[in-house]
Structure 1
């Protein structure tokens, strides 16, 4: 699902509430049978660590850590031992096409490669929902399309829910569902602007 709207309209706040990073002043947010808006801080921290993945425009990689070490940071709250973290992190980097870049620092990677590391970090814990805030905003057009191809492939293969905030209509046009947010008001645009490409298997349900 793609989320669009003018700057300051509430898109990032909407995403933060979906990601259990902020609480609504009214209403309810549910993840399956869990009411996020009523859960305690410890429960929300566990949900964020286990069930939600986040990808941001600015990558948010730790500059002094290698690619594999950056991905491992997502597993630290889950209590996995060092060998297990390394195995899973290397596997996640291989899934995004960076098996040969595990030891590279962020400064030694291109923007597209850094975003792939960020995606691997979000997916290494096998989340149910991936929330992406302008994930292609700092990328050129060709790299943007590569990253979106990767996200779509992972969406199909893993059956996760993908919610993506973007100002880029070329990115939004790839989604099956579209929300528009303006002045805090949410409306859903009817119909898909174009069918998702290479639909080799039934698409998972939307958000």
Structure 2
């Protein structure tokens, strides 16, 4: 019964995060905008006297509602690609579009607003504040959105319930297992009801059983309608994605 309740809460939360696409009767349905579209994206860095082509001619479309895994060797461009998708960086050339809005030319303030409102982030190192409870950590994720205090409390509680941690809301991170801490981090991302969840090695610090537990949670969110893009070195994790991409020397290809 507890597992069923968690699944129902997860589905409800993810559904809230997914915009409605219905049209009036008799109105032809418009082609929905993809969640991401990258066109001709290059990213070039200069390190001392060396030029680094972190991304090269990336053309990529990710429809809304996909679970996408990105793999590749260290230094191949995975982190740079995730930064582009997460509005954390701009391309040297090319365009990046999120849900129909071009974000590659926006200023810092607009990009910060998009990160706060539309994108949920989950990292390998949970990034929880050790002196705050699970509930308070999740509430902190809503601070940039100016959500009223009462609503912050209710949304954080709902997010924790959706990841199966309603009974751990008052616990500090040091009182939680690694898997539970990652669930809190996922709840923090979900509480703002993002359009997309970006996860960077979300199971990198976890044992095999806990890894499978966290991926099962992410799969549940995806099946409820949330777009999820994750970077992973773990092929067992990548195989559970709907779509797999590989990036090597800055070039993105579809994996078999």
Say yes or no: TM over 0.5.
yes
Q: Which residue of 2 aligns with 1:66?
A: 133
Correspondent of 2:93 among 15, 21, 26 = 26
Q: Structure 2 length as normaliser, TM-score?
A: 0.73
Secondary structure (helix, strand or coil) at the match of 2:70 reads strand
Q: Select the structure that is richer in strand.
A: 2
Structure 2 residue aligned with 1:104: 171
Cα distance between partner residues in 2 of 1:116 and 1:175: 19
Aligned residues: 189
Match of 1:46 in 2: 113
Aligned to 2:199: 132
Q: Deviations over 1:137-184 (max 9, x none)?
A: 000000000000001101111x12110100000000001111101111
- Normalised by the length of structure 1, the TM-score is 0.90
Deviation at 1:90, TM superposition (A): 0.7
- CA RMSD between the two structures: 0.8
Hey, what does 1:167 align to over in structure 2?
Answer: 233
Q: Aligned partners of 1:35, 1:183: CA distance in 2, in Å?
A: 25
For residue 83 of structure 2, what is the aligned residue in structure 1? 16
Mapped pair 1:56 → 2:123 = yes
Report the alpha carbon displacement of residue 39 of structure 1 after superposing the two structures with TM: 1.3
Q: What 5-or-longer segments of structure 2 have no aligned partner? A: 1-67
Displacement, 1:45?
1.0
List per-residue Cα deviations over 1:18-76 (Å, max 9, x = no partner): 00001111111100221110112121111111110000000011111110110011111
**2 CA distance for matches of 1:167 and 1:9?**
12
Q: Give the aligned partner of residue 118 of structure 1.
A: 185
2: CA distance, partners of 1:68 / 1:81: 15
Question: Is 1:182–2:221 an aligned residue pair?
Answer: no
Q: Distance in 1 between matches of 2:254 and 2:140?
A: 36
* Rg comparison, structure with higher value: 2
Q: Equivalent residue for 2:217?
A: 150
Secondary structure of the corresponding residue to residue 53 of structure 1: strand
